[in-house]
Amino acid sequence: MEAEDSRTKINRLEGTSDWASWKFQMQIILEANEYADFLSGEEPKPQRIPRAGETDAETDVRFKDKLKVWKLKDAKCKKAIISAVGKAPMLHLMSCESASDMWTKLHSVYEKKGVTSLYMIQKKFFEYKMDPEDDISTHVSKLEQLGHQLKLLGAPVDESFMMTKLLMTLPPTCRMLHVGF
């Protein structure tokens, strides 16, 4: 399934397996639509705070105007998130009141940063072999993605180590590349 945000299509978030790529795509889409501040909580819901010398009526008007703008942007951000998740992730979001709450909830559910996650990604990295159906570019991207996941978990892969892994996983027809490195 795909979600569409104006002109951009992305696959719906279905679970942990597609979380990293979905999160990357959503961050870019939401930043492009100027909703990034809602994700981080940097643009909190406005509070009714009177200014010195301001009447209650003036405070109410100013507050209502700010609140109206905030609610509209928050609703658009929530819509973008909801339209890009599948049924299972949707269940986690139904009790969220703001886009920031939704983003925080998705992170708490899918952003696995424990020892087990580190072990699983390291295992994938060390066991990784090139899929015969992939071209070199796809192979490199998949390996880089594993490296990126390890970096996010606090275990970055050294560039020379990554290059060694890449060269070791190339098919025999590409062994001539070893000479260049």
**What does the pLDDT read at residue 2?**
42
Q: What is the reported pLDDT for 176?
A: 64
Q: What is the mean pLDDT of each run of 10 residues along the chain (181 residues)?
A: 55 87 90 85 85 87 91 93 94 93 88 71 87 87 86 85 87 64 49
Q: Domain boundary residue among 110, 139, 169?
A: 110
Please check whether residues 32 and 102 belong to one and the same domain. Answer: yes
Give residue 108's pLDDT: 83
Is residue 103 domain-shared with residue 124, that is, in the same domain? Answer: no
- The pLDDT assigned to 68 comes to 94
Would the pTM of this model clear 0.75, i.e. be above it? no
How many Cβ atoms sit within 10 Å of the Cβ of residue 177? 12
**Whether residues 25 and 79 fall in one domain:** yes
41 and 123 share a domain? no
Q: Are 60 and 122 in a shared domain?
A: no
Shared domain for 91 and 125, answered yes or no, is no
